[in-house]
Amino acid sequence: MRLIASMAMAACAMAVMSSSTLAQTAAPAAPPAQPPAGGTPDVMPFDIPYGLSIGLERAKQVLSAAETEAKKRNWKMNIAVVDTNGELVHFARMEGAQIASGPIAIGKARTAARFRRESRVFYNQFETGHGYVSTLDPTLVASPGGFPLVEGGKLIGAVGCSGGTGDQDAAICKVGAEVVK
């Protein structure tokens, strides 16, 4: 009996000693927090100051340049020019252009003006799996073909084109945007 009691006490002592050892063992360290994808930039991107909104005469020049390029390439386009608020200033639907593309051209221009960046940026975000973009603004158009109009370093409006592929739309809009410097 004494042997059994001694063995039981020894087992209890070992259990107590090992539990205190386990209690002193440090838990594995949590992995360090990761910075946001892409890191945090030092400067704010797309920080173009607002200028005086584009007027009708200047909007006509932008649209004319875009339309001339579209005709040269035989692409039937809808072309929209908006002010800094994204409100329509001038619009043209070329003969035979897809009717559904009219509101799309306006939406691309509005997106470029309100967010002060090319509408392709949002398209690229969707393509890389960032669906949050759709929660930013219900009128946002995430497709190539919307360019901000920047004159003297200030945003004065935007141009949007639709009717071809995204790249065709962007090529035409870029020509229009280049009128403004």
- What confidence tens digit (pLDDT) does each residue in 96-106 have? 999 999 999 99
pLDDT digit string (tens) for 10-29? 554 455 455 544 445 555 55
pLDDT for the residue numbered 136? 86
Within-domain flag for 70: yes
What whole-number distance in Å separates Cα of residue 83 and Cα of residue 81? 7
Which has more confidence, 127 or 21? 127
Domain that holds residue 132: 56-177
How far from chain centre, in Å, is Cα 109? 14
Is residue 160 in a domain?
Answer: yes
Quick check: is 74 in a domain? yes
Q: pTM, whole model, 2 decimals?
A: 0.76
In a domain, 35, yes or no: no
> How much is the average pLDDT of 124-146?
89
Amino acid at 114: R
Please report the pLDDT score of residue 172 as a whole number: 98
Mean pLDDT of 60-78: 98
Residue 22: its pLDDT value, please?
47
- We report the CATH number of the domain holding residue 88 as 3.30.450.150
4 within a domain of the structure (yes/no) = no
By the 8 A CB rule, do 133 and 125 touch? yes
Residue 39 lies in a domain: no
- pLDDT value at residue 35: 52
Q: 121 lies in a domain? A: yes
Token pair belonging to 51: 């200028």
